[in-house]
Structures are given as structure tokens and as C-alpha cells.
Structure 1
Amino acid sequence: MSDPTSPRVRDLDIVVYGATGFVGVLVAGHLAAHAPAGTRIALAGRSAERLAAVRARLGVDWPVMVADAADAEAVERLAGAAHVVITTVGPYAKYGRALAHACAAAGTDYVDLTGEVLFARASADQNHELARSTGARIVHSCGFDSIPSDIGVHVLWERVRADDAGELTATTLVVTSAKGGFSGGTIDSMRHQLDVLRKDRSLRRLAASPYSLSPARAEEPDLGRQDDMVTLRGEQVDPSLRGSLGPFVMASYNTRVVRRSNALRGYAYGREFRYREAMSVGTSPLSPVLAAGLKAGLGALVVGLSLPPTRFVLDRILPKPGAGPGEKARREGHFTMDLFTRTSTGARYTARFRAQGDPGYAATAVMLGESALALVLNRAELPTTGGGVLTPATGIGDALVTRLRAAGVEISVRRLDP
């Protein structure tokens, strides 16, 4: 077993697995444009011919590695070849378990884009202690799910701590504005998870728990009901907000990632830390109706994907895996997320996470690529947690904040007047 204190000797710095897929190409393109000269990068996937075509399209001379997710030996070779493996191959519960485990065993850092709570839970159960022993940082959810949420709370906590303003209590992320397409890969992951949940009642209970990703659910504080499908008035979150808020589609996953960060940090955010996410639907007189309609629509989507007759129809309407918006749409997309918290001393703070580019594609490619670069190039700035199955905040932390700001992402915090 590897000694986590020993320097790792690898032929490569980064392997991009799934490099021929839609998002994989975008991630590889970001690295081709922004990785410092001398960064040793390889492209990996199932087809040598398609990998060579991506390499030619990017104008790079990176090596290619052929590996099928079902080929254990190929996956182990891939995991042992680099300091960091990026994987965009999902659904992760179907295609990602062997790779995450191989990276944990090899002492190789790993980043992905999962928004699948059952996969992340299984990975933590299988790989956390192994990764701690090898020093591998297995960091799930390094895209639009869940970096803005997790890093947003991270910078809030750091500012509150620096001001000696107490602990975080009620904290809400609000999607203030967003423009972009819905990822076909996300829809496919949702289908796969719903299929699993339909067959196993115990997994349904696990997925429904607000602490389903926490390392020790029995140690979590009893804070009562924590609903992911919220409808609120803006002033219920903070006096500065107006209009109505409806549920945010990824809240049921992001909130659990943030709670895992708090638990992994020994509840440093606070034992009374409550976290939720919502989406602004505007300030018009009809905004309460729009919020209620959004909640009903998201519920109907879940039910529709769970029932064979309606899934048959939805499968022909919803985006397909491996497809995505054109270059113009990716460039013109954007998102702004504002977080609000009140501390145990009564102080109010807000943080903003804003990026240009379609959230699920262009901005996600930046976040995932910079996560991998931070693990390779900014090791002295990484959190001192060591290895394990970690979150963006606990696994990469300030090193990622620094790199994202340099890449043009706004990450800011300010204290609000009483």
C-alpha cells in the first residue's frame, strides 16, 4: 500500500477519461488552452481512433490511452498512470465505481461530475478509508454540481471565521439568474438512479435523508425537517431579497454535499448549520404562482421518468447523453448564485459565485479542469485533510478558489449591515 507522505512518481499529470464525449472534449479543450506548458496530459476512452481525432482537433500531441470502464485491468493501468484522473463518463453508478476504487487504491487523485447521491454514498463507503491510507483525494462533484454550492459556503465560512463572527446558522443559496441548457448526461443519471430506487426501498430511504452523504449520519444534529423542494418569499431568506423563490433542481444533491463538508470538518460551520437551495422566479405579482408551478413541474418530471408510459414520451423530448448546445449557446450562457447566511452572533453575510458560459457545459468544463490543475499544481495550498472521499471544499478548497478567480469566475463575500 502506498505511503501518503511519499512523493508519487507518475508518467502523467492528468488523464482525461471520456475525452471523446461532449463534456470530455470541452474539458480537454480547456486544458489545452490553459494548462501551463509542460503539464503532462493524456486523453483516454474506448476508441483509439476517436481519441486521435480529438487530439488532432485540439492541436496537441498528448498520448492516448484506450480503456473500457468494464475492463478492470485497463482501468487500473489508467489509475496508476497519472497524478490526477478526470472522468466525465456517466452515469457514474454504472460506469464509475471501478475507476474511483482503482484511484483510491493507487493513491491517485480523482475528480468527476457526478450528481448521483447513491454513487457518491457507495464510493464513500467503499473508498474513504482506503483513500485515506494511500493519500488519494477522491473528489466527486467538481462541476456545476456542486462547486458553486460547496465552495460558496466554504468562502462564507472562511470570512465569518476571520471576522470572529460566530458560526453559520440558516444558510440559503439562491440561483439569482441562469441561462443554459439542461445536460443530457444529468437526465441519464436521473433515469438510472430512479430505476435503482424503484427496486429498493432501503435505498429510497437513504436517498431521502438530508444526511445521506454524511460520514456518520447518527452524529448529525437533529434540526428537524429539511425540505429540498422549497417555495419561499425572498425576505424569508434575507431582508435584501424580493420576489419569490422556487425549488432548484439540483438542491437535493448539492445540499448533501455541503452537509458532508461540514461533517468532514468536524462541524466547523456549526452544529446549528441549516442549508437549503432555491431559485429566483422574479418579482412580478405572478411570481408565487410561478414558484408553485416550478415545484409541481419538477415533481411531475420525477414521476414521469419513473413510469414506463410517460418515460417513453419524455425520452424522446429530453436531451440525450453525449449531446449538447452549440458553441454560441455555450458562450452566451451564464449563472449567478448568491448565498445568504446569518451567524450565531446575529451577523449577516452574503457570497456570490458567478461565471460566464453555459452552466452544465462551458462553465462546468472550466470548474472540472481547474479542479484537476489545482490538485497537480497547487498542492501546497490544498486543505490538510489528506486523502479520502472528499468534497470540493474539503479536498481542494482555497487552491480551487484561487484558480477559478484567475479563470474569470467571480467568488466574493461581504458582510451585510445589521
Structure 2
Amino acid sequence: MSTIPIGDAVAGLMRDGLPVRFEAYDGSTAGPRDASITLRLRNRRGLAYLMTAPGDLGLARAYVAGDLELEGAHPGDPYDAMSLILNHTKFRRPSAKELVELVRGLGLSNLKPPAPPPQEHLPRWRRVMEGMRHSVTRDADAIAHHYDVSNAFYELVLGPSMTYTCAVYPEHDASLEQAQAEKYDLVCRKLGLQPGMRLLDVGCGWGGMVRHAARHYGVRALGVTLSREQAGWAKEAIDREGLGDLAEVRHSDYRDVLEGDFDAVSSIGLTEHIGIRQYPAYFSFLRDRLRPEGRLLNHCITRPHNRPEETGAFIDRYVFPDGELTGSGTIVGAMQDVGLEVAHEENLRHHYAMTLRDWNANLVEHWDEAVAEVGLGTARVWGLYMASSRIAFERNEIQLHQVLGVRTTDDGADGLPLRPTW
């Protein structure tokens, strides 16, 4: 039984007060009555989540489980609410004595962690049962956790392109579909694709790059993905679009590709999953798949610095298990160290913020269908994750880089034009 009103406890942790209204199940409140956003803590389980996992993990658990309600913002796009809270909420670090008194006042019984929501993945220390980090088995499990949610759900969120990577907006008012087509075309242009060439697309998702390159550039394209759901959808799309003579998607680890002598390799959104320590082996493997003068385009989320940094607890448990990010300098260095000539790099972080904005809008538009497909908890995870990621890109906490490398000949020829033509 708590002796401190929960609202008072929350207010006491705020340095400059709350910009939102807070209401707790014990009847206590904090923050302005006329606030546009209300956070409502509905029960003791929600309080226990917050007390046993301080920070984003506890908040996410309570929110996903429905124990923490957000009023005044759509759960499919809580961007405005999150921006308001992040911009105007300053936590005060309590002293050790204050912390002990606070915990006692809120009730020691709340320090027993409730079972996490079913959407949560195992913590890192328990994943050792699945194999070493970034082993084939563990990578397959991590990919399945995120990408095998439901193809129907992804169709609602991603739209007709079924493309789950950063788009490239040719104009500010371009549609999501136009921007995704431009992204694939930009990659094709950077790779210098021509009819009859051979392309390997690793981490191919639902086959968007493979199909675009085959349809518009006449290349023979092979895509590989660890997601069985993605591979099945992509194969059907290839057949439906009549591209079976040029395009192929396999349910396979990229490390199982035995073919070589490709004219080009694209890696769009895979590097985030492989682990920084694996970069030398990864880029060496891709270099070895290329013919001399063949090009590699690596497209991935990066940090604005080059220190290795694991993703936060919420992202790791609910979105990208085992995900690791670092800066573009590390990507460039790793490619150079395996003998690739780095010819060009580009930061597209503003484009990713816009992409996430449009994915959130799709989720809002199809909210009822999405909830019916995957459940309220999972739909909430996606709304929260995409809105928070949008904020992170806007604030330059994360970036998106494309890096173009070439396997030169023994005498240094790279086959590149004097100036970029894309």
C-alpha cells in the first residue's frame, strides 16, 4: 500500500514541472489541468513496471500492456505528444535517501517485476541460449521477431511498395510511393546497372530492390532474406509481375550465397543487424562476390559518431534484438580495410524522418485493421517505435548513410565515371 500519492511522486521528480497532465489510479494528479496531453496510470501493475524498469523500458512495458494510457494523441502516431514531453520534461535526479523514501512510500511490493508483455523479446543475457550473438541461428531468430509479424500488417503500414527502409524524397511534397521508387532508382544509378548485369541484394526484404532492378534496368537479380514470410511474399510478387526470368528471392542467410562474379551488390538496411565486430567478415564476403570493377552500395542507419553503441532497451527488446549502430566513418573504414575503394557517401537522415512520418500516417489511417491483424499491444509498439525514431532522426541522434564502394582491378581500374552521374 503506497503512502505517497503517485502524482506527488511524479511531480517531485520533475525539475521544471510537467507539460502534460498526469492522472493515477489512486486519484492523485500532477501537471496542468488544461494540458492537451494526459498520461493516465491505470493500475498497480503499471506502477510496478515503472518502478522495476526505470527509463524507456518501464514506460514501454506499461504502455504496450495498456496500463499507461496516452490521451490526446493517436496511438498510431504519438509524435506530437512525445515531442512535447521530450522538449519540456526535465527529470531531477533524487538523492539516495530520497530514492529510498520514494520507493518505500510507493510500496515495496511494487518492486516485484510483473511478467513483461508478450511482444517483448528476451534480454541480451538470456539470448545466449540461442547461440552466440550474430550466429546464423541467433540472427534468424532476431529477424523473425521483427519481420515475421504479419505481411498483411506490413502492407497496411508500408503501403504498396512493401519497402521497410529509408525512402528518398525527390521533393518535399512527394508521396511515400514516389520516394521509395526514387530510393531504389538512386541505388540502381549509383551501382551503374545496365541490362544483362547480375545483382545480389542481401537482406532483400519483400524484394523491392530486386523487382525494381529487374523491371527498370533489365538485370538478373538475386535477393536473400532470413525472413520466411518476406521470401514467400516476394516470390509471389515476382510471379505476379512476370519477372520470374530475371528476379529470384531466396529464404537464406547471405553467408550461404555461393555464386560470385556479380556486377553489383546492394545491402539496404542489413548492416544494422550483423554486429560491428562482423563488419570485416561481412564486407570481405560481399567484396568476394563482386567481379573486378563491381560496385557495392551499403545503405544503413548510423550514429553521428563512430563509437560502437547498442540500441536502447526498448528498441532492443521490442523492435530490433541485437541491433548495433555506429558512425559512417566506421562503415567507410571497414570497407576500405577489406580492399574496397570508397567512391561516394551520402547522409539521408532527413529523408528517414519523413519516411517514418508517412509510415505513422499509414498506421493511423489503417489503425482498426492493424489492431485486428496483430493486436493492440503490437500496434502500440509500432506507433511508439516509429514516432520515437522520427524524433531521433530529426534531432541528429541517428543518421542514414549510403556508402558506395568498388572492387578495383589489380592495376587500380574502377570503371567509375569522372564525376557522379546519379
TM-score by length of 1: 0.27
Give TM-score, length-normalised by structure 2. Answer: 0.27
Larger radius of gyration: 2
